[in-house]
Amino acid sequence: MIENINWYPGHMKKTRELIQANLKMVDLVIEVIDARIPVSSRNPIINDLVGGKQRVIILNKMDLADSRENDRWTKQFKEEGHFVVPMNCMNGNGVSSLLSLLTKYQDARNQELSRKRTLRMMIVGVPNVGKSSLINRLLGRKSAKTGDRPGVTRGKQWLTLSNGMQLLDTPGILWPKFEDPEVGLNLAFCGSIRDETMDLSSLALELIGVLQENYPEELMERYKLIELGEMPLDTMEAIASKRGFILSGKRIDYERTARTVLDEFRSGIIGKITLEQCEEA
């Protein structure tokens, strides 16, 4: 299912070239990641391109993730030398903290250089992690196009924030090949890969398997299940029965069940879930 997807369309190649061409012009890189998948949503190509440039990691969608894991990942990324701001770009929670951090960084840099210059930044991340929502919050108005579908942002956009700082927006970029198939699955679970390219029934079955192992109580509570099935397929069919997703001839409506489970996971209705736990030292 996952390995057959074309991960590297032409516009993503152009994004890589855009980052390379403009990196010297910026003082700081803002990397937006999904708090539910802090490893899978960090593109290793971006890591290679940005190199030693100072990074601000936005742990976005923190409201959808396990709060304990948010704390652990924040600590981990700070220990790696990055600035970290947990955030919910949809409601603006965390934006004031980011603006304060950027102002302090700009003042410290100007003092070090003994001259006054406006901070220039680049924002990067994989599709559908919330870059456009963050930009709109920073601007205080609708500017960047947003949507719940990956790949909405296209082209090169220099934007001026209300405090005078400049921000270069870049389209979401995936990478040519996932060495670990779980990375592809995690991105698909969270909507960073177009659903149209997936077999949603198979994808939802994989997700149910992950939730059944790591968040069984949330799964049982949401779908009013007395117990989980021996296999993910058994659980999926139990969910369908509870919801009445039955076709003529008493056949299970797997597609409707799949869409429901995926939508309710992505919107946080099943619970606050982090698919990648932080292994603290």
Q: Provide the residue ranges of all domains of the chain, joining segments of one domain with +.
A: 10-169, 199-266
CA angle (184 as vertex; 225, 175 as ends), nearest 5: 160
Query: With bands split at pLDDT 50, 70 and 90, how would you rate the model's confidence at 10?
Result: low
- Using CA atoms, how far apart are residues 52 and 4, in angstroms rounded to an integer? 34
133 annotated among ligand-binding-site residues? yes
pLDDT average, residue stretch 148-163: 64
Q: Which residue has the higher pLDDT, 130 or 150?
A: 130
236 annotated among ligand-binding-site residues? no
Does pLDDT of 79 surpass 50?
yes
172 annotated among ligand-binding-site residues? yes
Q: 10-169 architecture in CATH?
A: 3-Layer(aba) Sandwich (3.40)
- Using CA atoms, how far apart are residues 191 and 162, in angstroms rounded to an integer? 31
Class of domain 199-266: mainly alpha
63 annotated among ligand-binding-site residues? yes
- What's the pTM? 0.87
242 annotated among ligand-binding-site residues? no
27 annotated among ligand-binding-site residues? no
| DSSP element (H, E) containing 167 | strand 166-169
156 annotated among ligand-binding-site residues? no
Query: With bands split at pLDDT 50, 70 and 90, how would you rate the model's confidence at 196?
Result: confident
114 annotated among ligand-binding-site residues? no
CA angle (156 as vertex; 168, 44 as ends), nearest 5: 70
- Using CA atoms, how far apart are residues 204 and 208, in angstroms rounded to an integer? 6
131 annotated among ligand-binding-site residues? yes
